[in-house]
Amino acid sequence: MDKKIVDEYNRLKDDLNRWGREYYVEDQPSVDDSEYDKSMNRLLELEQEYPELISEDSPSQNVGGRILEGFEKYNHKKPMMSLGDIFSFEEFMKFNSQVEKVTGTFDNEYYAELKIDGLSIALIYEDGKLVTGATRGDGKVGENVTENVKMIKTVPLTIKEKGHVEVRGEVYMPLEEFKKINDKRLLNGEEPFANPRNAAAGTLRQLDSKIVAERKLSTFIYYYLGNDKNVDTQAKAIQHLTDLGFNVNPDGRLCHSIDDIKDYIAEYSEQRSKLGYDIDGIVLKYNDFDMYDKIGHTAKVPKWAIAYKFPAEVKETELLDIYGSV
């Protein structure tokens, strides 16, 4: 194979693995997400063209995070996956045509949700009592952050469902709180957090729970892995999570057609800067759970859901809104 290709591939792999460590482990990214995404796309392109290049340490083969020292490990019973990315409606049409091959339907029902820019959390309940809170980590093994999640006001310590119940969602920092904390850090001569996502991740992985209690993190829960057999669609899961007392994002919507999805994307591309928390896209989830096994997944991402990412420049405008100038 052309040495130039091998060199380019190795450089991309090294960069992405380093940036991944900075982002997931140290909570201190040195490049912005669009640069990471651009390099990742190029790496995936090369891997598609030259599959012989793919090695175990490629960032395409595993979900990013590693475990911070100081926390106990938690083995996820079911892997916590990432999501595939798309950047245009045309790419969504391609994604949908793969789903159509399995379902036989063009106008598939998807549940559309905002893609909250925080970090994944799993909450585990035994007989109605919160017993564990864990980060995603590498998808198989996460950090046990139970004492810290107990400090988040929107996390119920008890729920009215017996047996083993796991729910998953996002821990995030509201923009107002982010601004308050960064103002204080600047006053104290400390380095400000790069963005609300890093502030949330850095806070949830504090060894001192008191600091977590002081900084007002919040949650949006969107996955239900419980015992209620009536919950057989994402729309019903969201309703059930609401009934159990979880904080659920109010802007999710069941889309019955491709046109509905187009409208949802247009609406929230517009609404994005008015939400009070950061989102970096929209997640489209096939609504009917019965098809999940048939549609399947890769090692890293499900094929029944996709993340439609917003362009990066909108995000810069948002930072300008907060600080006046950057």
List the binding residues.
Answer: 33-37, 82-83, 113, 136, 170, 285, 309
Distance CA 279, CA 265 (A): 12
- Alpha-helical segments (H) within the chain: 3-20, 33-49, 89-103, 146-149, 175-187, 196-204, 209-214, 234-244, 258-271, 292-295, 312-323
Does 196 bind ligand NAD (CB under 6 A)? Our answer is: no
Closest CB to ligand NAD among residues 107, 251: 251
- Alpha-helical segments (H) within 122-233: 146-149, 175-187, 196-204, 209-214
Binding residues for NAD(+): 33-37, 82-83, 113, 136, 170, 285, 309
Task: Name the minimum Å distance from CB 103 to ligand NAD.
Answer: 20
Closest CB to ligand NAD among residues 20, 133: 20
Distance CA 26, CA 23 (A): 6
Does 251 bind ligand NAD (CB under 6 A)? Our answer is: no
Kindly tell me which residue out of 39, 96, 120, 203 binds ligand NAD, with binding defined by CB under 6 A.
120
| Number of C-beta neighbours around residue 60 at 10 A | 17
Does 33 bind ligand NAD (CB under 6 A)? Our answer is: yes
Kindly tell me which residue out of 8, 15, 22, 251 binds ligand NAD, with binding defined by CB under 6 A.
22
Does 272 bind ligand NAD (CB under 6 A)? Our answer is: no
Cβ(65)–Cβ(137) under 8 Å?
Answer: yes
Kindly tell me which residue out of 9, 36, 246, 310 binds ligand NAD, with binding defined by CB under 6 A.
36
Q: What is the secondary structure of 22-66 as a DSSP string?
A: IIIISS--SS-HHHHHHHHHHHHHHHHH-GGG--TT-TTSS-S--
94 is annotated as an active-site residue: no
Cβ(166)–Cβ(125) under 8 Å?
Answer: yes
SS3 82: coil
Kindly tell me which residue out of 13, 27, 29, 151 binds ligand NAD, with binding defined by CB under 6 A.
29
SS3 207: coil
Closest CB to ligand NAD among residues 128, 319: 319
Angle at the Cα of 266 from the Cα atoms of 264 and 268, rounded to 5 degrees: 65
Task: Name the minimum Å distance from CB 314 to ligand NAD.
Answer: 14
Distance CA 128, CA 106 (A): 40
Question: Considering 4, 94, 101, 115, which one is annotated as catalytic?
Answer: 115
The burial of 111, by beta-carbon neighbours within 10 Å (0-12 exposed, 13-18 middle, 19 or more buried), is given as: buried
Interface segment toward ligand NAD; rule CB under 6 A; list 6-14, 27-35, 94-102, 144-152: 27-35
Kindly tell me which residue out of 9, 12, 13, 20 binds ligand NAD, with binding defined by CB under 6 A.
20
Tell me, residue by residue from 53 to 92, as one string, x for binding to ligand NAD by CB under 6 A and - for no binding.
----------xx-----------------xx-x-------
- Tokens 């609504």 label which residue? 287
Count, residues near ligand NAD per rule CB under 6 A: 24
Does 222 bind ligand NAD (CB under 6 A)? Our answer is: yes
Could you list the residues that contact ligand NAD (CB under 6 A)?
19-20, 22-23, 29, 31-33, 36-37, 63-64, 82-83, 85, 113, 115-116, 120, 136, 170, 222, 283, 307
Provide the annotated active-site residues.
Answer: 115
